[in-house]
Chains A and B, each alone.
Chain A
Amino acid sequence: EVQLLESGGGLVKPGDSLRLSCAGSGFNFNVYAMSWVRQAPGRGLEWVSAISGSGERTYYGDSVKGRFTIYRDNSKNTLFLQMNSLRVADTALYYCTKDDDGYYSDIWGQGTPVTVSS
């Protein structure tokens, strides 16, 4: 069974940094692209970032470009999202997803909450 387990969320202040992790199991991790998608409280889904299976190609949404970095450690089946210069607007539940057909999310984790507040 494919499983994704996110961790690393928490309460931070504006300007702080945070690193999210996502441990994948039940599939050939290094074959698949992975993404982060977030959902602010009571709002819709917002695509944040994606990375190819090898880690060579990365993509970012405009709202996080230059502040967030996606990377992966295929030897540990783990995906990461390094978030710097956090803003109140980054407050959301962050989902890790396994991707199909490029960068379309097909399997979702349960999410890890990030709250940015002074």
Chain B
Amino acid sequence: QSVLTQPPSASGTPGQRVTISCSGSRTNIGGNYVYWYQQLPGTAPKLLIQRNNQRPSGVPDRFSGSKSGTSASLAISGLRSEDEADYFCAAWDDSLSVSFGGGTKLTVL
């Protein structure tokens, strides 16, 4: 069971906006950055959002991140078929470890 809680699945149609939540606690999300990763089928994870809401170079601005208290969210606007992937959140925990969410499988209908 993962320390950070994500919904196991999400879906949307092309062009829609979808959000994926990530819930933690005071010791992880509450006091540390949240990172988001995208894992396309059969590939290694790729950094999508760093420091709660910053996009690394090359990540489209359709992807955005936010954090409030002990929860964080990833939003994808203008959904495309190529966004179909697994999405994971992660946060440093004050117990000196990194916690990952269980992952959310996004389906583009």
Tell me the nearest residue of chain B to A4, going by C-beta.
B44
> What separation, in Å, do the CA atoms of A35 and B35 have in the docked complex?
15
Alpha-carbon separation in the docked complex, A51 to B88 (Å): 22
Could you tell me the distance in whole angstroms from the C-beta of B73 to the nearest C-beta in chain A? Answer: 18
User: Which A-chain residue is minimally distant from B103 (CB atoms)?
Assistant: A44
Nearest chain B residue, comparing its CB with the CB of A46: B100
A106 nearest CB neighbor, chain B only: B47
Interface mask (B9-49 → A, CB under 8 Å = 1, otherwise 0): 00000000000000000000000010101000000111100
Q: Within the assembled complex, what's the spacing in Å between the Cα atoms of A57 and B77?
A: 40
Residues of A in contact (CB 8 Å), total 24
Residues of B within 8 A of A50 (CB): 98
A107 cross-chain contacts in B, Cβ below 8 A: 47
The answer to whether B100 and A110 have CB atoms under 8 Å apart is no
Task: Tell me, yes or no, whether A111 is within 8 Å of chain B by CB.
Answer: yes
Q: Is B97 an interface residue (CB 8 A)?
A: yes
Main secondary structure of the interface of A (DSSP, over half): strand
Residue of B nearest to A104 (CB): B35
Please, which residues of chain B bring their CB within 8 A of the CB of A45?
A: 37, 45, 88, 90, 100, 103
Please report the C-alpha to C-alpha distance between residue A101 and residue B50 in the assembled complex, in whole angstroms.
9
In contact, A95 and B44 (Cβ under 8 angstroms)? yes
Cross-chain contact A103 with B45 (CB below 8 angstroms): no
A 80-118 binary contact with B (CB < 8 Å = 1; else 0):
000000000000000100001111111111110000000
Contact yes or no, B90 A104, CB < 8 A? yes
Contact partners of B97 in chain A: CB under 8 A: 47, 59-62
Known: A101-B33, A104-B35. Is A59-B100 also a contact (CB below 8 A)? no
Which residues of the other chain, B, contact A47 by a CB distance below 8 angstroms?
90, 97-100
Shortest CB-to-CB span from B44 to chain A, Å, is 4
Is A103 a contact of B98 with CB atoms below 8 Å?
yes
The 22 listed contacts between A and B (C-beta, < 8 Å) are: A37-B100, A44-B2, A44-B101, A44-B103, A45-B37, A45-B45, A45-B88, A47-B99, A50-B98, A59-B97, A60-B97, A101-B50, A103-B92, A103-B98, A104-B50, A104-B92, A105-B47, A105-B98, A106-B50, A106-B56, A108-B44, A111-B44
